[in-house]
A = this chain, B = another copy of it.
């Protein structure tokens, strides 16, 4: 077993439920590359969400302080854009570090198993 010093190695405390939800993960990934903001219609297309679902998830992210909203006009049509806040950027980066850890843990464990089951030669010491 991999437990070290009483700490639960696979508890993944850093997988904040606000960011870990599938649709919100898509929204945050869409926003991280666009500091100038992304329009509602573009987010809808990028994330494959309905108006209702996208609105609901944006509200959750906004309530958590992860994203900000700018309501303006393009010509005389309302044009709303969404962007990560500074805090949102930091917290999403922290979240991604944990996500990478999950992938590394799982890949490492799967490889150990291949060794255990004889699918891979044991590394020489």
Contact = CB atoms under 8 A, between A and B. Distances in A.
A103 interface: yes
A68 interface: no
A26 B2 CA distance: 12
Nearest to A6: B45
* Contact count band on A: 35 or more
Contacts of A105: 29
Interface in A90-125: 92-93, 96, 99-100, 102-103, 105-110, 112-113, 116-117
A8 B110 contact: no
Contact of A17 (B22, B96, B116): B22
Interface in A19-73: 20, 22, 25-30, 32-35, 38, 42, 45-49
Interface of A: 1-3, 8-13, 15, 17, 20, 22, 25-30, 32-35, 38, 42, 45-49, 92-93, 96, 99-100, 102-103, 105-110, 112-113, 116-117
